[in-house]
Structure 1
Amino acid sequence: MADEELLVGGNTTVVTRVGDTVRRPSGAWTPAVHDLLNHLQAIGFAGSPRVLGVDESGREVLEFVPGEVGTLSPSAPLPTSFRTAEICWAIGRWIRDFQGAQAGLVVDPSKPWRRAPGTVLEPDQVIVHHDVSPYNTVRRADDSLVVLDWDFARPGHPLEDVAWAAWRWAPLMAGTWWHAEYGIDVDESVTRRQRENLGALLDGYNASAQDRAALGGAIAEQMVRHAADLEEMAQHDAAFAELIERDYARAARADAAWWASSSLRATLSGDH
């Protein structure tokens, strides 16, 4: 085995690089995820990593995707290129293209998804990534985007990824703690930045009037559901228990409370 390089940025999973590959722990959900990623590769979708198999330690092996990664922490704020309306538009288009690339996907109901074991794909559903966030995104040299970390992919409503991405990319967050990490200048209009980013993401997704009308509630639902999911997983997983200790669930509920009365919701109806 070649030397392994620990890749930083993840909160709950130890990920290493070996040459041009990435090694990640596998789970009961990995076969279903690999079926999805293999389908995306087969139809030519370039926005997801390529599956290379499983190594002798039982870890999944994926291609290493070179490029700029949207790591996010107080010590490593988002790269400048991840703070623009242009990349928010591109994320919206990535979600639209990802959903379109699922045409012809055959889901094996015997292969469980994480957080949704045994779930089948209903006619009005798509496979939802469930964490289309800056810290899971690589921007290649040609500006194309690859989204990583598919462990929580599972069937759901098409707007779920749009709502999550709006939360994380606009971003739609309460308070001011995140301003430095997202590169907010002290003299900048935070609301204007959020409105422009949210509008760009929806335009990239080509959101319909019906989508926009439903999105306000969908965003709030993602925030509240995320808090509940973290608390449930923390009961049997130390990595998620640490996230609870770091106030991730509390912050998500604070975002939901702030979003309920935010003037930014007018952006959803096109009043921006």
Structure 2
Amino acid sequence: MIRCEQLKKKFRRSTVLSNVSLQITEPKIMALIGRNGTGKSTLLRLIAGHLKPTAGKIEVLGENPFNSLQVASNTVLIEESLTFPSPFTLADILKQGATFYPNWQQDLAEKLLAYANIPLHAYHEQLSTGQRATFNLVYGLATRSKITLLDEPMNGMDEAIRTDFYRAILKEYITYPRLIIISSHYLSEMEHLIEEILCIHRGVVELHAPLDEIQTFAVRLRGDQAQIAPFIEHLEVLHAYDEAPFYEVVVPAAQLNVEALQAKGVFVLNVSASEVCQLITSEKKEGIDRVFK
């Protein structure tokens, strides 16, 4: 479905993506994670064919996506900056969507908007931030595109509507499986949805793995530093907090003797996928605490 080889995108003097290589071969729900400015939106726009790569290669559905009608009719990118013609009501926008997307679901769009109390006679530019985000997401789901790209789709929505629309995404995927890539800062809210995580950092792929692998990637150790130190001396420390007598460290779980640590009274705790992604992209292993030392 998507293949990138040493993909690079540069804007004037700024290189956003420097060397991205990845392959996605089947429908799934994926999370695209990374800190602000790491190139998540740029990667989605390259996949959608909205941007041309500076170097490297990208294939979407077997074609170069840039200026490809085949890719455009089977791919949708929903982002905060998405706009529609100002004279069009929401009903007009939906009507136009049906003329372009071969799998368009008019009934689904109308039912979801009715559920969210968004009237079809309203104008897109007059909607509140949360309503606009909801409409955009509904539009994206209604296309039933083979590749559905959602860039921060929940921004502006309140918690209740976010919860509802996470369920809507899952139900739509079950009904009509396709590749759904969600770029979001709400990873902890989405972990029940996603199968795989793609983490971008400094313009390259830092991590690309199934969710269950990332959920078991690291552990948090709490206890006496002298007891813990011998077990982690050869491991990469992802996070450390030392405020005597309290000591905490996060390290990769592989090759760690958990039973021996627990026998010495050390607490061994799981680390969520969301926190793993935060830690492996952090430049400060002590976090914000270092500022107050």
| TM-score, length-scaled by structure 1 | 0.28
Q: Under a length normalisation based on structure 2, what TM-score does the superposition of the two structures give?
A: 0.27
Structure number with higher helix proportion: 1
Structure with more strand by fraction: 2
